[in-house]
Amino acid sequence: MPLIDQLSGLLARASRALGLETIDSFPPGHQYARTRWDRAYFDIASDLKPDAIERAMCEAIANTPSVFAHIVHPTPGMQRALLAVIDTRLRRSCGAPFDLLKLLIDAYASPHTPEAVPGLRRVIEDTAGQDLAARARAVLVLLDAGPAAFGVIEARA
């Protein structure tokens, strides 16, 4: 059976190299190798380069922000894509998008999630145990107080 195992391994490698498989993480050794996503929500071909993978993930988040819930340890770029959607919703409506802020807050439950905005992790950790509305307001205050890197301004909840 070693021949079948070798053929199976070669076939798997060829399939990945040709982009015939869907991946659920960045390549081993990549800066964000801990980042994982659910293949059912993201159709990422195995032959894409890491920059193209992140770009495709960010486009998916921009189009359907709820898919952010299916990412473990999102990269700062993915978080910025969600922050852009939050900013858009803040500008279009009179209320805060608590559903999206909850996704961001939940992502920081793991200490392995890289911080996209300086101080964001601390604000989320400091408000642990409070209700979602208070935590979301604290995040919005941080984003409103920082430089306009994300365009989140006048974010009054």
pLDDT digits (tens, 9 = 90+) for 99-108: 999 999 999 9
Instruction: Using only the alpha carbons of the chain, give its radius of gyration.
Output: 18
CA 30 remoteness from chain centre: 16
State residue 92's pLDDT score.
Answer: 87
State residue 154's pLDDT score.
Answer: 45
What mean pLDDT do residues 123-137 have?
A: 94
Asked whether the whole model's pTM tops 0.85, one would answer no
Lowest mean pLDDT among 7-11, 45-49, 59-63, 68-72: 7-11
Question: Does an H or E element contain 123, and which?
Answer: helix 120-126
State residue 157's pLDDT score.
Answer: 42
**Is 70 exceeded by the pLDDT of residue 152?**
no
Lowest mean pLDDT among 15-24, 32-41, 75-84: 15-24
Chain mean pLDDT for the chain: 87
Question: Does an H or E element contain 138, and which?
Answer: helix 132-145
